Amino acid sequence: MDDAWHAFFPRFYRFLRVLDPLITRWWRRFGVGNTVAFVTTGRRTGQRRTTFLGLLRVGDHEYLGHPDLPCAWTLNLDATGRGEIERSGRPPERVVATLLPPGPEREAVIRATFRQHPFPGNVIYWLARRHVRAVGRFYRIEPA
């Protein structure tokens, strides 16, 4: 089943990328659930890269995550350890990120995806929960 999720997630996120112009206009005007614009610096180009992500809250901490193997934004974040969060209608906030190792904090963040991500992300994460636990990348985000 992991091969199916490895095939699904890149296609799903490619589809969302096609919708980015529409999502961006809607997000800037109304917001979309827990969605933020996360800006990293390209590890090879040095250019700013913006990705819409679900910001998760567990306790007093905030987290970002990706359900599959490393992708462009996680590789960029791994290279720099920092980025910017843009929340709808607010100025950007510089943050530093710490990759979560397996353990109770990471598990709590994964469970939060089922409750906090807007549909259909919450359902997809739940269906892929075994895969997400095995290979997903989750980061604790703190002000820089």
Question: Tens digits of per-residue pLDDT, 45-55?
Answer: 999 998 888 89
Grade residue 63 by pLDDT with cuts at 50, 70 and 90: very high
> What CATH number is associated with residue 101?
2.30.110.10
Domain that includes residue 49, residue range: 2-143
Overall number of domains in the chain: 1
DSSP secondary structure letter of residue 118? P
Strands (E), 1-136: 35-41, 48-54, 56-58, 61-66, 82-86, 93-99
pLDDT in tens, 73-118: 999 999 999 999 998 778 999 999 999 999 999 999 999 999 998 8
97: its two tokens: 């990120």
Residue 18 has pLDDT above 80, yes or no: no
